[in-house]
Amino acid sequence: MPEPVIKTNKLTKIFGDFVAVDEITFEVQPGEIFGFLGANGAGKTTAMRMLCGLSYPTSGSATVGGYDVYRENEMIKKHIGYMSQKFSLYEDLTIFENIRFYGGIYGLTNKQIKIKSEELISFLELEQEAKKLVKGLPIGWKQKLSFAVAIIHQPKIVFLDEPTGGVDPVARRQFWDLIYDASSRGITIFVTTHYMDEAEYCDRVSVMVDGSIKALDSPSNLKREYEAMSMDDVFYKLARGAKRGP
Amino acid sequence: MKQFLAFIKKEFYHVFRDRKTLLMLFGLPVVQIVLFGFALSNEIKNTRIVVMDYAKDEASQKIIDRLEASSYFDIQENLLSASNLEASFKEGKVKLAIVIPADFNNDLLHFNKAQIQIIADASDPNTANTLTTYASAIIMSYQTEMNGLRHAPYQITTEVRMLYNPELKGAPNFVPGVMALVLMLIGVMMTAVSIVREKENGTMEILLVSPFRPFLVILSKAIPYLIISIINVAIILSLSVFLLDLPINGSVALLFGESILLIITALSMGLLISTSTDSQQTAMLLSMMGMMLPTLLFTGFMFPIENMPMPLQIISNIVPAKWYYIIVKSIMIKGLGISMIWKETLILAGMTVILVAISIRKFKIRLA
pLDDT for the residue B162: 47
The Cα–Cα gap between B317 and A226 comes to 71
Cβ contacts below 8 Å, chain A against chain B, sum to 82
CB within 8 Å: A97 and B209: no
> What is the radius of gyration, based on Cα positions, of chain A?
18
Buried b / exposed e across B134-145, counting CB within 10 Å, b at 16+? bbeebbebbbee
What pLDDT, in 10s, does the model give residues A189-237?
999 988 888 888 999 999 988 888 888 999 889 889 888 888 888 888 8
A92 contacts chain B (CB < 8 A): yes
CATH number of A6-239: 3.40.50.300
Which residues in chain B have Cβ-Cβ distances shorter than 8 Å to A107?
Answer: 2-3, 211
Domain boundaries, chain A: 6-239
Distances (CA, A) of A218 to A21, A55, B59, B342: 22, 29, 111, 72
Q: Point out the least confidently predicted range of B122-136, B217-231, B240-254.
A: B122-136
Query: Could you give the dihedral angle defined by the CA atoms of residues B196, B197, B198 and B201, in that order, rounded to the nearest 10 degrees?
Result: 120
pLDDT over threshold 60, residue B216: yes
pLDDT over threshold 80, residue B178: yes
Q: Are the CB atoms for B320 and B263 separated by under 8 Å?
A: no
Which residues in chain A have Cβ-Cβ distances shorter than 8 Å to B6?
Answer: 100-101, 103-105
B1 contacts chain A (CB < 8 A): no
Average pLDDT over residues A97-114: 89
Query: Could you give the dihedral angle defined by the CA atoms of residues B193, B230, B259 and B320, in that order, rounded to the nearest 10 degrees?
Result: -10
pLDDT for the residue B40: 56
Pairwise pLDDT comparison (B112 vs B297), residue with the higher score: B297
B207 contacts chain A (CB < 8 A): yes
What pLDDT, in 10s, does the model give residues A62-74?
999 999 988 888 8
Second CATH level (architecture) for the domain B47-150: 3-Layer(aba) Sandwich (3.40)
pLDDT for the residue A167: 81
pLDDT for the residue B172: 65
Domain boundaries, chain B: 2-40+169-367, 47-150
Amino acid, res. A97 = E
Amino acid, res. B269 = M
Helix, strand or coil, per DSSP, at residue B309: coil
The Cα–Cα gap between A70 and B151 comes to 92
Mutate to test the interface with B, among A55, A87, A105 (most CBs of B within 10 A): A105
A72 contacts chain B (CB < 8 A): no
Mutate to test the interface with A, among B7, B12, B205 (most CBs of A within 10 A): B205
pLDDT for the residue B91: 77
Average pLDDT over residues A23-27: 92
* Residue A213 Cα, gap to closest chain B Cα (Å): 24
Q: Point out the least confidently predicted range of A52-61, A126-135, A185-194.
A: A126-135
The Cα–Cα gap between A194 and A239 comes to 12
pLDDT over threshold 90, residue B242: no
From the list B205, B212, B368, the residue facing A105 with the nearest CB is: B212
Q: Is the ipTM of this complex over 0.90?
A: no
**Maximum mean pLDDT: which of A240-244, B93-97, B319-323:** B319-323
B368 contacts chain A (CB < 8 A): yes
At residue B261 the predicted structure's pLDDT band, cuts being 50, 70 and 90, is very high
Q: Point out the least confidently predicted range of A170-184, B144-158, B193-207.
A: B144-158
Q: Are the CB atoms for B359 and B271 separated by under 8 Å?
A: yes
pLDDT over threshold 70, residue B164: no
Express as a percent the part of chain B with pLDDT over 90.
10
The Cα–Cα gap between A156 and A187 comes to 5
Average pLDDT over residues B351-365: 83
What pLDDT, in 10s, does the model give residues B284-342?
888 888 777 888 888 877 777 777 888 888 888 888 888 998 898 888 888 888 888 88
Dmax over CA atoms of chain B, in Å, equals: 92
Cβ neighbours, 10 Å, residue A103: 24
Helix, strand or coil, per DSSP, at residue A60: strand
At residue B43 the predicted structure's pLDDT band, cuts being 50, 70 and 90, is low
What pLDDT, in 10s, does the model give residues B56-65?
888 788 888 8
pLDDT for the residue B42: 54
CB within 8 Å: A107 and B18: no
Which residues in chain A have Cβ-Cβ distances shorter than 8 Å to B366?
Answer: none
The Cα–Cα gap between B127 and B130 comes to 5
Average pLDDT over residues B32-53: 72
Pairwise pLDDT comparison (B171 vs B273), residue with the higher score: B273
pLDDT for the residue A242: 72
pLDDT over threshold 70, residue B168: no
Q: Point out the least confidently predicted range of A80-84, B126-130, B220-224, B335-339.
A: B126-130
Query: What are the residue ranges of helices labelled H in chain B?
Result: 2-17, 19-34, 58-69, 82-91, 104-111, 125-150, 171-201, 203-209, 214-238, 252-275, 280-287, 293-298, 310-316, 320-332, 338-367
* Mean pLDDT, chain A, whole residue set: 87
Task: Using alpha carbons, select from A14, A55, A28, A37 the residue that is nearest to residue A242.
Answer: A37
Average pLDDT over residues A148-170: 88
Task: Using alpha carbons, select from B352, B184, B322, B328 the residue that is nearest to residue B261.
Answer: B352
Distances (CA, A) of A103 to A100, A143, B2, B6, B220: 5, 17, 10, 9, 16
Residue of chain B whose Cα is closest to the Cα of A69: B368
pLDDT over threshold 60, residue B346: yes
Q: Are the CB atoms for B336 and B330 separated by under 8 Å?
A: yes
pLDDT for the residue B152: 42
Average pLDDT over residues A32-57: 88
From the list B7, B202, B368, the residue facing A105 with the nearest CB is: B7
The Cα–Cα gap between B244 and B212 comes to 46
Which residues in chain B have Cβ-Cβ distances shorter than 8 Å to A52?
Answer: 209
pLDDT for the residue B156: 38
pLDDT for the residue B158: 40
Which residues in chain B have Cβ-Cβ distances shorter than 8 Å to A92?
Answer: 13-14, 17-18
Pairwise pLDDT comparison (B73 vs A28), residue with the higher score: A28
B9 contacts chain A (CB < 8 A): yes
Euclidean distance between the first and the last CA atom of chain A, given in angstroms as a whole number? 40
The Cα–Cα gap between A34 and A217 comes to 10
pTM greater than the 0.90 cutoff: no
